[in-house]
Amino acid sequence: MNRLTDLSVYTTGDFKTGAGAVKRLLWYIINVVFFINPLNPISSLKVAFLRSFGAKVGKGVVIKPAVNIKYPWKLSIGDYSWIGENAWIDNLAEVSIGKNCCISQGAMLLCGNHNFKKSSFDLITLSIILEDGAWVGAHSVVCPGVVCSSHSVLAVNSVATKNLEAFSIYQGNPATKVKDRIIE
């Protein structure tokens, strides 16, 4: 068989979805109808669905329209955090979002990547942590294994490939510290 068409060479190693096929299918349907669908602005309904599928969600959380969440059972969101339109939480591993965090429009939290050194292209997954007060700017990307420390900021259209220091502002691709965040 042609190596390019033999899908058996693409493995996922030790990856576990954390849920059975029926639960994943039900979540897929709810995610498409109530989350990704831009016509549903009702945040409290989305929070209820997340909790019913195992997410830990605090009080006062706002989830805007057109948000895509891979696996709610691998998600925790602290009090008064905000997830903007078209954000994508591709949580193949645990994602922890602290209190008073902001994930702006079009931002992506990506917990998975592939091992390009192996012909099997194994999936690599690492957790993401946003500590209290962290802000991920519009159209920014947080890569697998990154910790956005307390009150750090990832500026618009930036890519965090390494941990962000507390009370610091990062910008660029890859993101580098540009200045301290001073909160008045």
- At 81-120, the pLDDT tens digits run 999 999 999 999 999 999 999 999 999 999 999 888 888 8
% residues pLDDT > 70 (the chain): 92
Q: Are 136 and 103 in contact (CB under 8 A)?
A: yes
Q: Which of 135, 82, 88 is nearest to 111 (CA)?
A: 88
With residue 56 as reference, give the H or E element that holds it.
Answer: strand 56-57
Q: Which of 3-12, 64-73, 102-111 has the lowest mean pLDDT?
A: 3-12
Pairing of strands 168-172, 175-180: antiparallel
